[in-house]
Amino acid sequence: MIDLGRRVAAIIEYDGTEYAGWQSQTHSRSIQDAVEAALSFVAGHPIVAICAGRTDTGVHAVGQVIHFDTQALRTPRAWVLGANTKLAPSIALQWAGEVTLGFHARHRAIRRVYRYAILNRSARSALQRTRAAWIHRPLDAPAMHQAAQVLIGKHDFSAFRSVQCQSKSAVRRVEAIEVSRDGDYVWLQIAANAYLHHMVRNIVGTLLEVQRESDPGAAMAHVLEGADRRYAGATAPAAGLYLWRVDYPALHGIPAPQAQIFV
């Protein structure tokens, strides 16, 4: 059955290890290309998918949100199960549903939540080598948390943007940031309206440095106020980064992702 003007949203989980990020690439495998091919198979016509946040090479997602327009009438179950039969094991739709034409995965998002996983022990892991960053030296999670609080609010985050970042403004608003320890793992969770290129990984790399200072908060404030990438720490590995969820106004009906990760 054919109908005109449908917009469908979906939540996607993926392991980004073997992909050159979300965005379609001419000579590399991308999440976008794989997802569009699978959805096009289900729809019976070409699909263009718009994502909430373009993850980089090696970055994972628990709750990436996309939308696409289609003429095909399919049930939510058909979109999910049908697309998953055409996707590699490293990518899977978790939810799909029809939304209004006014919904936009990127522009309607009110916040994006990322998590970063650090395996903090003397021995490296064979099983988690692509799922968490391994730091063998002891880390002070409370000191990292203290330093991270300096970043809450609306600031110029130039110190934490990559040299390839093309954003016209470096001003972003961080709503919350937390660093905590769970056994051998140190987790960072950050919620913001939007991010600069490599912003989260550069924040993590800086926290790894300032946590050794006598006053981690003051050290982080110095980096932030300096607004210069040279003052910040090295970019943390992509393997530890997850797009955890994307939040929207309730009227759009996008659920929170239910999938979890175990590291």
Catalytic residue among 56, 69, 156, 247: 56
* DSSP structural state of residue 8: E
Alpha carbon distances (Å) from 214 to 187, 207, 209, 258:
22, 13, 11, 40
Q: CB under 8 Å to 81, separation ≥6 — which residues?
A: none
Query: What is the spatial distance between Cα 206 and Cα 140, in angstroms, rounded to a whole number?
Result: 13
Q: Where are the alpha helices (DSSP H) in 63-215?
A: 76-86, 141-148, 199-210
Q: CB under 8 Å to 231, separation ≥6 — which residues?
A: 159, 222, 223
Query: What is the spatial distance between Cα 231 and Cα 47, in angstroms, rounded to a whole number?
Result: 43
Tell me if residue 56 is catalytic: yes
| Strand 133-135 to 111-120 pairing | parallel
| Strand 111-120 to 171-182 pairing | unpaired
Q: Is 121 exposed, middle or buried (0-12, 13-18, 19+ CB in 10 A)?
A: middle
- Residues classed as catalytic: 56
